[in-house]
Amino acid sequence: MPAEALSINASLSKKSDAASYEPRLTHLPILILNVHEQCNCRCLMCDIWQREGGKELDLADFARHRQSIEAMGVKHIVLTGGEPLMHRNFETLCRTLKECGVQITLLTTGLLLAKRAKIVADFVDEVIISLDGPQEVHDQVRRVKGAFRLIGDGVSAVRQHTPALPIRGRSTVQKANHHLLRKTVEGAKSLGLSSISFLAADVTSQAFNRELVWPGERQNQISLMPSEIRTLEEEIEWLVAENADDFQSKYIVESPAKLQRIARRFREQLGEMPPVAPRCNAPWVSAVMEIDGSVRPCFFHPSIGSTKLQTLGEVINSDEAVKFRASLDVRENDICQRCVCSLNYKDPMAEANRGEVEAQPRLYQAGTE
Ligand code: SF4
Ligand code: SF4
């Protein structure tokens, strides 16, 4: 699921400035947990499904980090993979996390949602399903026949248990669907999804199990040519004109201006425009924990340490991690400038990491703002 990645939309902020955070973290509101390395889709834009071995999060080992999760005030745990619902002890995992008092967001293909509906309804607070277009295109991109229909079955099954559970759609814009945004919104509604959001496909990073940056030929299968970018821009204009109510109600999560930035990202990939990094505070408010215990500051930057011999809290504030955060300038960083999926999280306790919370002033040094 990482290609669709983070979406804790309720907490987006316009004000956060990553550069103003302290490198040593006292709070970590969001932990992204990779719980199963394999996936039940075979998407063209991702190499995760090619992983061999089918490793999954070892729950006994994970229990070591419970104290870190509680001590660092983790509020949201985002389950990702691969496909998290493939974890053989998914219910036990959810129970353990709930005992830590966190909210659970599940990033999923939706293919196993009907089978796991009761567990999801009982434990998960938000489901985000990747949707790549209307039925035919979605199934083509996922390379799974009947994938779209299975999502519909899963949404219905979960809603039978918990009618109000937010089940959102997340669509990665790429060559196969750049002209179909309106049809994607229609598809989301037909599936009963609570909302739909869009992001540009990532073709330039080494995230998502790529051993090397993709060669141009592979990138071209996903990214857009100039004429396709114009088509996308027109499609966005049509979407804005025809779906005004959906923007108003936030059924379409992004504003029109933010959707236009997706088109701009593709222009940047072609070198037509200079890359502009998004506003992002991911490394200061979140971490990604992989199945092998390595910890990343976000999906795209390299590991800052391993929990094999340390607790999560120790890794988060290890010398390497602190050094990384102290030296990261999101606006200037090459990886950030190409990032398609940022996080801008506003949270009172995370603000403590930049010295703005008066209630606990002794715990923090002043930020640089
Ligand atoms: S194969 Fe598709 S569904 Fe699976 S992790 Fe990759 S992008 Fe997500
Ligand atoms: S690559 Fe940079 S902009 Fe993207 S999530 Fe990571 S820190 Fe944020």
Q: Which atom of ligand 1 lies nearest, measured to the CA of 142? A: 2
Residue 351: per-residue pLDDT: 60
Q: Per residue in 36-88, pLDDT tens?
A: 999 999 887 777 777 777 799 999 999 999 999 999 999 999 999 889 999 99
* Per-residue exposure over 108-125, b if at least 16 CB sit within 10 Å of its own CB, e if not: bbbbbbbebbebbbebbe
From atom 5 of ligand 2, which residue's Cα is the shortest distance away?
342
User: Bigger pLDDT: 16 or 61?
Assistant: 61
Q: State whether the beta carbon of 282 lies less than 6 angstroms from ligand 1.
A: no
Q: Per residue in 287-318, pLDDT tens?
A: 999 999 999 999 999 999 999 999 999 999 99
**pTM recorded for the entire structure:** 0.89
DSSP symbol at 84 = G
Cα(356) to centroid(ligand 1), Å? 38
d(CA 257, CA 251): 16
d(CA 301, CA 206): 9
Question: Any idea which residue has 């008066």 for tokens?
Answer: 358
Residue 350: per-residue pLDDT: 56
Q: Per residue in 224-281, pLDDT tens?
A: 999 999 999 999 999 999 999 999 999 999 999 999 999 999 999 999 999 999 999 9
Q: State whether the beta carbon of 128 lies less than 6 angstroms from ligand 1.
A: no
d(CA 193, CA 158): 12
User: Bigger pLDDT: 13 or 369?
Assistant: 13
Q: Per residue in 189-199, pLDDT tens?
A: 999 999 999 99
Residue 216: per-residue pLDDT: 67
At 63, give phi and psi (nearest 5°).
Answer: -60, -25
* Pairing, β 305-306 against β 294-296: antiparallel
DSSP string, 189-233: HHTT-S-EEEEEPP-SSSTTT-SSPPPHHHHHHHS--HHHHHHHH
Q: Which of 32, 35, 46, 51 to mutate to test the pocket of ligand 1 (most atoms within 8 A of CB)?
A: 46
From atom 1 of ligand 2, which residue's Cα is the shortest distance away?
336
